[in-house]
């Protein structure tokens, strides 16, 4: 590509100016502020306009205003260039709102704009991309080379290293992977991590953790409140049941107590009436109050003994009379036994004995006769005689036995009479003894009666009985009064009477008494129950009532405790929504930051991968080219230039033969290195297109020798490609002249 002609309608300081360029080296000379940079910028503006590169819409760069025409308003111009032998003319109007680009065939004048690419978003005809094969960024790296901005040698080296690194890894000296990495790392650092507590992520992470803890506590509190609520509800139900039962029991107890009060009143009333009655009766016996019944015991004993003696005397007399009669009867029986029993029995015995003796004689005689006679008939007679004898013998034995019995009976009767007589004698003795005792006792009684001033035992007894009645009544009255006192237990009977009256009246009215709730239906039942039954029931009810009251107190205490706990817990739970909201926002922000971190990480990783890829492809060739160019422009002084992967530029110093870092080289040499670098990059990027090379005051720091060496290279290069050199010095022209170079020389004024 060869730029043939520039025509500036209006651009910066220029208006209606044409510049014709040569095909090889063009030296455009001008002092400061004569428009070198303006011309340089005009070229770029014609190719790319003032539209921001890489932006998806038409946005003007700051340069637009910077190069607005000082005079006139036809902001723009045209350019004629040649590519592959064909001439093109580009006209561009840069004025906002009227921007236009038109491309023509430089020979026929045919407009070619429509056949070229068009960026609708940025409203740009893409002729430069087609004709130069470069985007704006690449154009800046390839076609245009300006001087380095750094002043000190050290800064210069660093700048070269940076740009070298950028070119090596990005193919764009304006881009820096290192810087991009640093920016991303700064961004990541700004976000921080979980552990970096001063950074946003760490702060939020810690806050979220704290909120989660608080939330967990609040959630636990909520659950506790819920559990407490259930417990409270159950307790309330239980309390209601207990209350109902208590009230029922209280009514029963009250009814029972009323009934008991009524009973008590009845008892007290009865005792009071009894006291009155006893007092009246005691008054009636008041005459016996002074009687001394001290001898009444002795008198009574004597009286009793006298009575006993009297009764014994009487009994003994009767017994004596009875015994006398028995003796008389016994004598009669003895006489009768003698006369009617013993005498006849003795007679019959004697008779029997006589007959027996006769018979015995007869037998004997007969026997003797028989024996003597031998008359058997006598023997026959003998048999009846013997039989008679034995018969008579039996009669004798029987009569004798009878006689003995009658004699024995008579003896018994006699013995009995004798015993009776002795007994009567004893009786008579006892009788006399008793009669004497009786007389003694009667004497004692008389003395006592006399001493008591009474005439008789009856009178004494009456008076004693009167006194005893008086005493008994008095004692009874005292006991009754004591009982009354106990029953009353310090209460005023009149008050009791009124209470009882009220109960009865209320019961009769079917209502309740003012002192308590006694159910109308419960009074009769309570009143009608037996006292024992009532006592038992009452004891049972009171016991249960006491249990209920204790249970109620315990339950109410527990409920109060739970309510208190719930109030405290509910205060804790009131923060729950706030905590959730805070946590939700913290988590959202954490998610966003996490995404940012992850994205930054991905960007960093991708950047490094892309950089490594570009570096692998581009850096070695770039190194070779830079070394070759450096060798040529330093007159073979630095032939062994090496750029390490950590961007150190190493060169072998010809004086010592030692490899040294660029920092130790002179500023001019470093400037040469930079020039070599840019030329190499330009060649590398433009490929075989042979694009023009624009050098903007690149040799300011060069001494004559270096300038010569460099220009030797430039003049050689200018044979292959157009070179446009802007300079504010005349040295470049002189060097070119000195080297016999061909060049086109333009002066800006």
Partner 1 sequence: MDGIKVLHTGDLHLGMSFAGSKLPAEVGRVRRQELWETFDRIIDTAKAEKVNLLLIAGDLFEYKYCTVSDIKRINDRFARIPETKVCIAPGNHDPALSDSLYNTCRWEQNVHIFRKSRVSALRIEEYNTTVWGLGWDKDCIADPLLESFRAKDDGINILMAHCDVVPGGSVSNYLPVYHEQLAGSGVHYAALGHIHKGGEIKQGGKKVGVYCGSPEPLDFGEVGTHGVYIGTVGRNNCGVNFLPVAKREFVTERITADPTGDTATILKSMEERIKKYGQANLFRFSLEGGTDPGVELDTAYLERTIEAFHIEIKNNTFTGYDLDAIIEEGQRSIMGAFAARLLEQLDGESDPERRAVLERALYIGLDALNGRKVMGR
Within residues 169-188, the interface with partner 1 by CB under 8 A covers 169-172, 175-177, 179-181, 183-184, 186-187
Of 36-55, binders to partner 1 (CB under 8 A) are 52-55
Residue 133 C-beta: closest distance to partner 1, Å: 9
Of 646-705, binders to partner 1 (CB under 8 A) are 685
Residue 630 C-beta: closest distance to partner 1, Å: 23
**In whole angstroms, what is the distance from residue 25 CA to residue 742 CA?**
7
Residue 667 C-beta: closest distance to partner 1, Å: 26
Cβ proximity of 15 and 68 under 8 Å? no
**In whole angstroms, what is the distance from residue 257 CA to residue 475 CA?**
32
Cβ proximity of 222 and 576 under 8 Å? yes
As a whole number of Å, the end-to-end CA separation of the chain is 28
Cβ proximity of 385 and 363 under 8 Å? yes
Residue 725 C-beta: closest distance to partner 1, Å: 25
Q: 497 vs 594, which CB is nearer to partner 1?
A: 594
**In whole angstroms, what is the distance from residue 72 CA to residue 10 CA?**
6
Residue whose structure tokens are 């005292």: 478
Q: Bridge-partner residues for 18, per DSSP?
A: 7
Residue 225 C-beta: closest distance to partner 1, Å: 6
**In whole angstroms, what is the distance from residue 127 CA to residue 130 CA?**
5
Residue 187 C-beta: closest distance to partner 1, Å: 4
Residue 583 C-beta: closest distance to partner 1, Å: 7
Among 66, 233, 450, 561, binds partner 1 (CB under 8 A): 233
Among 115, 432, 606, 644, binds partner 1 (CB under 8 A): 606
Among 20, 226, 401, 482, binds partner 1 (CB under 8 A): 226
Residue 564 C-beta: closest distance to partner 1, Å: 13
Q: Are strands 144-146 and 86-93 parallel, antiparallel or unpaired?
A: unpaired
346: contact with partner 1 by CB under 8 A: no
Token pair in block for residue 691? 């694009």
Residue 71 C-beta: closest distance to partner 1, Å: 29
For residue 660, the surrounding DSSP H or E stretch is strand 659-661
Token pair in block for residue 226? 């819920």
Token pair in block for residue 453? 């001033």
Q: 56 vs 740, which CB is nearer to partner 1?
A: 56
**In whole angstroms, what is the distance from residue 173 CA to residue 160 CA?**
9
**In whole angstroms, what is the distance from residue 317 CA to residue 427 CA?**
8
Residue 235 C-beta: closest distance to partner 1, Å: 11
**In whole angstroms, what is the distance from residue 716 CA to residue 256 CA?**
138
Q: 312 vs 596, which CB is nearer to partner 1?
A: 596
190: contact with partner 1 by CB under 8 A: yes
Closest CA to 25 of 720, 723, 711, 748: 723
Show contacts of 266-269: CB within 8 Å, 24+ apart.
267/487, 268/484, 268/487, 268/488, 268/493, 268/496, 269/497
Among 229, 297, 376, 451, binds partner 1 (CB under 8 A): 229
Residue 245 C-beta: closest distance to partner 1, Å: 20
Of 100-159, binders to partner 1 (CB under 8 A) are 119, 121-122, 129, 134-135, 137-138
x/- letters, 561..600, toward partner 1 (CB under 8 A)? -----x---x--xx-xxxxxxxxxx--x---xx-xx-xxx
Burial 513-550 (b: 16+ CB within 10 A, else e): beeeebeeebbeebbebeeeebeebbeebeeebeebee
Residue 63 C-beta: closest distance to partner 1, Å: 15
Single out the segment in contact with partner 1 by CB under 8 A; choices: 225-233, 405-413, 553-561, 724-732: 225-233
Please work out the total of residues on this chain that contact partner 1, with binding judged by CB under 8 A: 74
Of 234-263, binders to partner 1 (CB under 8 A) are 236
Among 284, 485, 609, 640, binds partner 1 (CB under 8 A): 609
Q: Bridge-partner residues for 440, per DSSP?
A: none
Of 53-92, binders to partner 1 (CB under 8 A) are 53-57, 59
**In whole angstroms, what is the distance from residue 359 CA to residue 353 CA?**
10
Show contacts of 316-324: CB within 8 Å, 24+ apart.
316/427, 316/430, 316/431, 316/434, 317/431, 319/427, 320/424, 320/427, 320/428, 320/431, 323/420, 323/423, 323/424, 323/427, 324/424
x/- letters, 529..568, toward partner 1 (CB under 8 A)? -------------------------------------x--
Q: 321 vs 598, which CB is nearer to partner 1?
A: 598
- Residue 145, helix vs strand vs coil: strand
Q: 187 vs 419, which CB is nearer to partner 1?
A: 187
Q: 164 vs 438, which CB is nearer to partner 1?
A: 164
Among 37, 611, 672, 709, binds partner 1 (CB under 8 A): 611
Residue 128 C-beta: closest distance to partner 1, Å: 12
Single out the segment in contact with partner 1 by CB under 8 A; choices: 351-359, 603-611, 636-644, 709-717: 603-611
468: contact with partner 1 by CB under 8 A: no
Q: 52 vs 269, which CB is nearer to partner 1?
A: 52
Q: 55 vs 517, which CB is nearer to partner 1?
A: 55
Among 31, 209, 227, 660, binds partner 1 (CB under 8 A): 227
Q: 200 vs 468, which CB is nearer to partner 1?
A: 200
Q: What is the DSSP letter of 330?
A: H
Residue 668: count other Cβ atoms within 10 Å of its Cβ: 19
Q: 182 vs 350, which CB is nearer to partner 1?
A: 182
Q: 44 vs 671, which CB is nearer to partner 1?
A: 44
**In whole angstroms, what is the distance from residue 505 CA to residue 262 CA?**
12
Cβ proximity of 271 and 480 under 8 Å? yes
Q: 170 vs 313, which CB is nearer to partner 1?
A: 170
214: contact with partner 1 by CB under 8 A: no
Q: 191 vs 523, which CB is nearer to partner 1?
A: 191
- Sheet with 144-146: list strands edge to edge: 144-146, 693-696, 723-727, 25-30, 743-748
602: contact with partner 1 by CB under 8 A: yes
- Residue 517, helix vs strand vs coil: coil
Residue 125 C-beta: closest distance to partner 1, Å: 14
**In whole angstroms, what is the distance from residue 48 CA to residue 101 CA?**
10
Among 2, 191, 320, 679, binds partner 1 (CB under 8 A): 191
Q: Bridge-partner residues for 651, per DSSP?
A: 660
Q: 174 vs 521, which CB is nearer to partner 1?
A: 174
Q: What is the DSSP letter of 105?
A: E
How far does Cα 231 stand from its chain's mean position? 13
Residue 60 C-beta: closest distance to partner 1, Å: 10
Residue 52 C-beta: closest distance to partner 1, Å: 7
Q: 58 vs 474, which CB is nearer to partner 1?
A: 58
x/- letters, 397..436, toward partner 1 (CB under 8 A)? ----------------------------------------
**In whole angstroms, what is the distance from residue 198 CA to residue 201 CA?**
9
Residue 711 C-beta: closest distance to partner 1, Å: 29
The CA-atom distances, in angstroms, between 646 and each of 19, 268, 317, 417, 650 are 44, 124, 172, 178, 11
Q: 235 vs 665, which CB is nearer to partner 1?
A: 235
Of 305-344, binders to partner 1 (CB under 8 A) are none
Cβ proximity of 95 and 74 under 8 Å? yes
- Sheet with 649-652: list strands edge to edge: 642-643, 649-652, 659-661
Residue 170 C-beta: closest distance to partner 1, Å: 3
């Amino acid at each position: 590509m060869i730029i043939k002609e520039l025509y500036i309608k209006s651009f910066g300081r220029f208006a209606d100016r044409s510049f014709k360029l040569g095909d090889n080296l063009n030296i455009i000379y001008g002092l400061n502020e004569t428009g070198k940079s303006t011309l340089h910028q005009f070229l770029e503006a014609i190719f790319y306009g003032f539209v921001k590169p890489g932006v998806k819409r038409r946005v003007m760069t700051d340069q637009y205003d910077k190069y607005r025409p000082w005079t006139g308003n036809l902001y723009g111009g045209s350019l004629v260039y040649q590519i592959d032998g064909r001439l093109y003319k580009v006209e561009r109007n840069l004025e906002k709102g009227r921007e236009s680009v038109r491309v023509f065939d430089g020979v026929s004048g045919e407009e070619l704009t429509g056949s070229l690419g068009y960026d609708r978003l940025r409203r740009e005809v893409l002729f430069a991309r087609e004709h130069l094969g470069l985007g704006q960024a690449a154009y800046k790296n390839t076609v245009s080379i300006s001087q380095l901005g750094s002043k000190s040698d050290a800064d210069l080296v660093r700048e070269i290293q940076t740009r070298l690194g950028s070119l090596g890894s990005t193919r764009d000296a304006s881009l820096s992977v290192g810087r991009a990495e640093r920016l991303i790392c700064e961004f990541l650092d700004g976000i921080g991590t979980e552990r970096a507590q001063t950074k946003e992520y760490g702060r939020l992470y810690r806050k979220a953790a704290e909120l989660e803890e608080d939330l967990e506590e609040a959630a636990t509190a909520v659950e506790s409140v819920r559990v407490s609520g259930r417990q409270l509800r159950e307790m309330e139900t239980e309390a209601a049941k207990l209350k109902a039962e208590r009230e029922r029991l209280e009514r029963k107890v009250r009814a029972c107590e009323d009934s008991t009060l009524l009973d008590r009143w009845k008892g007290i009333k009865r005792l009071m009436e009894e006291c009155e009655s006893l007092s009246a009766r005691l008054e009636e016996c008041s005459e016996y109050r002074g009687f001394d019944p001290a001898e009444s015991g002795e008198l009574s004993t004597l009286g009793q003994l006298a009575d006993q003696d009297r009764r014994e005397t009487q009994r003994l007399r009767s017994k004596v009379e009875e015994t006398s009669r028995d003796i008389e009867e016994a004598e009669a029986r003895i006489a009768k036994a003698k006369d009617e029993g013993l005498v006849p029995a003795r007679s019959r015995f004697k008779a029997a004995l006589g007959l027996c003796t006769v018979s015995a004689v007869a037998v004997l005689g007969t026997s003797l006769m028989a024996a003597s006679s031998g008359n058997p008939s006598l023997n026959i007679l003998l048999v009846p005689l013997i039989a008679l004898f034995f018969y008579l013998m039996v009669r004798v034995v029987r009569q004798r036995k009878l006689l003995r019995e009658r004699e024995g009976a008579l003896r018994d009767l006699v013995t009995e009479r004798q015993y009776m007589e002795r007994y009567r004698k004893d009786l008579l003795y006892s009788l006399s003894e008793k009669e004497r005792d009786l007389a003694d006792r009667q004497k004692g009684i008389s003395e006592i009666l006399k001493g008591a001033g009474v005439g008789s035992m009856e009178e004494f007894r009456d008076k004693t009985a009167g006194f005893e009645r008086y005493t008994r009544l008095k004692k009874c009255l005292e006991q009754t009064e004591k009982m009354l006192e106990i029953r009353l237990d310090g209460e005023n009977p009149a008050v009791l009477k009124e209470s009882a009256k009220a109960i009865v009246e209320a019961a009769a009215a079917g209502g309740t008494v003012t002192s308590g709730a006694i159910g109308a239906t419960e009074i009769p039942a309570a009143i009608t129950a037996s006292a024992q039954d009532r006592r038992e029931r009452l004891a049972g009810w009171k016991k249960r009532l006491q249990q209920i009251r204790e249970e109620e107190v315990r339950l109410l205490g527990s409920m109060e405790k739970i309510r208190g706990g719930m109030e405290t817990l509910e205060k804790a739970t009131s923060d729950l929504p706030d905590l959730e909201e805070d946590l939700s926002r913290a988590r959202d922000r954490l998610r966003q930051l996490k995404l940012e971190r992850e994205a930054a990480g991905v960007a960093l990783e991708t950047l490094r991968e892309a950089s490594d890829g570009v570096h692998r492809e581009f850096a070695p060739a770039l190194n070779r080219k830079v070394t070759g160019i450096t060798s040529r422009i330093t007159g073979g002084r630095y032939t062994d230039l090496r750029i390490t992967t950590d961007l150190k530029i190493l060169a072998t110093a010809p004086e010592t033969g030692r490899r040294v870092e660029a920092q130790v080289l002179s500023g001019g040499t470093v400037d040469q290195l930079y020039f070599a670098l840019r030329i190499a990059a330009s060649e590398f990027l433009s490929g075989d297109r042979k694009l023009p090379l624009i050098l903007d005051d690149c040799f300011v720091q060069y001494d004559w020798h270096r300038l010569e060496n460099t220009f030797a290279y430039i003049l050689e290069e200018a044979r292959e490609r157009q070179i446009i050199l802007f300079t504010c010095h005349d040295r470049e022209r002189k060097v070119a002249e000195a080297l016999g170079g061909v060049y086109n020389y333009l002066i800006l004024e």
